[in-house]
Chain A
Amino acid sequence: MTITYYLALSVILFALGAVGVLVRRNAIVIFMSLELMFNAANLVFVAYAAYYQLINSQLFVFFVMTVAAAEVAVGLALMVAIFRTKHSIDVDQMSALKG
């Protein structure tokens, strides 16, 4: 199997995630789309790690996973807080700081 397939899959996943971020209004779904983009990147990392027989890029995958987990923790907490005040997690309604 050549690396091309992995890369193609990764591109498809990343594009799906990006489109999800741009078109969906539910904050939870946007988070999931973000995770999709992270994991598309992770897929590229491990693909190249296998291809070049390198350990560094595998390490990066762990970093991305850790940071993503932390980010989700913060993000979900924010969502809970916002939901308590606005009773909605529609991102289009989060525009109180608009200039």
Chain B
Amino acid sequence: MSDTQLAWVVWAVLLPLGGIVVNLVVGRRLGEKGIGAVASLAAGGSFVLSGLLALALLQHPEGGIYRLATWFNLGSLTVDWSFRVDTLSVTMMLVVSGVGTLIHIYSIGYMHADVRHNGDPQRFRRFFIYLNLFVAAMLLLVSANNFLVLFVGWEGVGLCSYLLIGFWFEKGEGGLGNARAAKKAFIVNRVGDFGLLIAIFLMIGAFGTLDFDGVFAQAAQAAPALLVAITLFMLLGVTGKSAQLPLFVWLPDAMAGPTPVSALIHAATMVTAGVYLVARSQALFLPVPQAQAAVTWVGGLTALFAATIALGQYDIKKVLAYSTISQLGFMVAAVGMGAAVAGIFHLVTHAFFKALLFLAAGSVILGLEHGHEHAGEGHDPFDPQDMRQMGGLRKRMPLTFAVYLVGALALAGVAPLAGFFSKDEILVAASERFPVVFGLLLAAAFLTAFYMGRQLILVFFGEPRSKAAHHAGESRPLVTMPLVVLAVFSALGGALNLPGLHSLEHWLEHSLVGVKEGHFVWAVALGSLAVALLGLGLAWLVYGRRAPTEQDALARPLGPLYRAFERKWWVDEFYRLVLLRPLGWLAQVLAGPVDLGLINSLGDGLGQGSQLSANWLRKLQNGLVRSYALVVMVGVVAMFAYLLWVR
């Protein structure tokens, strides 16, 4: 590829930053439409450039590296601002900028209503600035050519996530709920980032370089123990960013952010950064089966664990959040067992249908808020995200229902929608390499279908269970148009890597190492389809036949188990007891006895000591000239005595 073509990647990263500058400088005068248009055009421009790069890659699939500048030289370590254009990074760029652009457009309509509902229209501009910043950071993350530039993007998206979760920072439980959720996301991610940083330091120490090619070339000869250490620390970073066990707790709380944020950052793109990292670093994972097994087990367990919690949630976005964690578990398991193509495939299709589901959920929320105001109950406390308040929206929001149905069926893995093909590939790979994890994933797939069926029935079927739901209305075209586009992608996304053609696999094998020929196993495919249909059917049996009550229909038959789902297996409580409580106690000790007691009295003592000695010494300054003369005399005599006798 020529250098001019490679330079497009830099422009793709810089365009959203340009959007920020424009909105910062003249945004106030542009009005809402103008701000939204600038931000969307910036993201759309990145998408066009990514598309051009993809076209160029069709001619030269080996890609290339664009070196912008040297960042720093430190001894023998040189780190460049360099960008990598290959099939993997461009695939990620297309997903990020493509889904990102659609969500930008959707946000123009959604945030118009949201800023008014929350009573601060001035915040409209801030939202789009943050959103553009996120797109820039995410594009930097996926197009970086070394681990440090990747880390810059990694931290950048974390920052944007924090800013956007806390977008309504003065709202939420007790006026602090959203701010607390933002802090939680940031701090939990920090634990993971610490792992990634250690992995980077280990790589500097062992390989003396951070460039992908340099690191991966030396990985084959490296000591296995070293690789295990690097990959496990990297896994810690992955569990933080991609919300896996044991660091997944921040993602459900992150739903405090506006819905487009949940769709873009906490479902489609940012949380998949961990999956991308493992896929990119396959060369480090392949020589050490122990690390591969660890990643696979983390993914498999997370997939099942989060799916059980999703069964017990009533908040429409919380269900989707746990579903995201569960699906991320599928991807992490896939890249862990070396089926990186399947993992990336599921990442892409998941970006389509999960963004679709979140945005459609946002449309439902808008509809309910609209209905709530229409019903004349404007000031009553009302949670527009509570599925118990919904029902019967099928007839009131037909377009939203149609796209939601497509997204839910794609997520459940019903053929021939996108999710079926990508999930099937992961299941096939698991059935060959990790039979137990295969069982976990299959169970998770069943639960996925079940909770999506439950959600569909609770939200769209039956009779309206509140006045707001009764008066709900369809959203504006600006909101529904991106939904339709995403629904088309969700329906047809499986065509990316159809069995027999494997076009995505042939596309990615230029940049991924250790790609194994994927194949189609009828038994697994039919089995996963049967499991999906079984889950949906069972959901209909449990929830569809009679009107849902305040208590969930499963609560009685499952008893304490359901209570565990509802309470999220008490993980938050457990962390509070095991981590937060002792740490808080330690902080108390450090602040009280140690800081106020020891360190403070040390400082005070120094001050008092010098004051005391000064009080004593000032007596020498008695103002009598003759006593000064005596001191001088004695001094001179002493000096002479010293010079004469001692030396």
Contact = CB atoms under 8 A, between A and B. Distances in A.
A84 interface: no
Nearest to B621: A99
A81 B569 CA distance: 93
Contacts of A25: 626
Interface stretch (A41-49, A55-63, A72-80, A88-96): A88-96
A96 B624 CA distance: 10
Interface string B629-642: 11001000000000
A25 B624 CA distance: 10
Contacts of A18: 633
A10 to B, nearest CB: 15
Contacts of A22: 626, 629-630, 633
Contacts of A92: 624-626
A69 to B, nearest CB: 21
A97 B626 contact: no
Interface residues of A, number: 13
B639 to A, nearest CB: 15
Measured as residues with beta carbon below 8 angstroms from the partner, the interface class of chain B is 10 to 19
B623 interface: yes
A11 interface: no
B612 to A, nearest CB: 16
Contact of A98 (B621, B626, B629, B633): B621
Contacts of A23: 626
A48 to B, nearest CB: 18
A28 interface: no
Interface in B593-647: 618, 621-626, 629-630, 633
Given A18-B633, A22-B630, A22-B633, A94 B625 contact: yes
Interface in A13-65: 18, 21-23, 25
Contacts of B630: 22
A92 B628 CA distance: 11
A99 B626 contact: no
A61 to B, nearest CB: 21
A65 B622 CA distance: 32
A95 B633 contact: no
A22 to B, nearest CB: 6
A99 B625 contact: no
B413 to A, nearest CB: 88
Contact of A21 (B618, B621, B629): B629
A51 B346 CA distance: 110
A15 to B, nearest CB: 11
B549 to A, nearest CB: 87
Nearest to B625: A91
Contacts of B625: 91-92, 94
A95 B629 CA distance: 14
A33 to B, nearest CB: 10
A96 to B, nearest CB: 8
A74 B510 CA distance: 95
Contacts of A96: 623
A7 to B, nearest CB: 15
Contacts of A99: 618, 621
B623 to A, nearest CB: 3
A21 B623 contact: no
Nearest to A97: B623
Contacts of B624: 91-92, 95
Contacts of B622: 95, 98
Nearest to B637: A18
B48 to A, nearest CB: 78
Contacts of A95: 622-624
A28 B625 CA distance: 14
B11 to A, nearest CB: 71
B635 to A, nearest CB: 13
B565 to A, nearest CB: 78
A82 to B, nearest CB: 12
Contacts of A94: 623, 625
A22 B624 CA distance: 11
B633 to A, nearest CB: 6
Contacts of B626: 21-23, 25, 91-92
A98 B625 CA distance: 10
A25 B627 CA distance: 11
A25 to B, nearest CB: 7
Nearest to A98: B623
Contacts of B621: 98-99
Given A92-B624, A95-B624, A98-B621, 5 more contacts: A22-B626, A94-B625, A96-B623, A98-B623, A99-B621
15 contacts: A21-B626, A22-B629, A22-B630, A22-B633, A23-B626, A25-B626, A91-B626, A92-B624, A92-B625, A92-B626, A94-B623, A95-B622, A96-B623, A97-B623, A98-B621
Interface of B: 618, 621-626, 629-630, 633
Query: When A and B form their complex, which 5 residue pairs have the shortest distance between CB atoms, in order from nearest?
Result: A95-B623, A98-B623, A99-B621, A91-B625, A99-B618
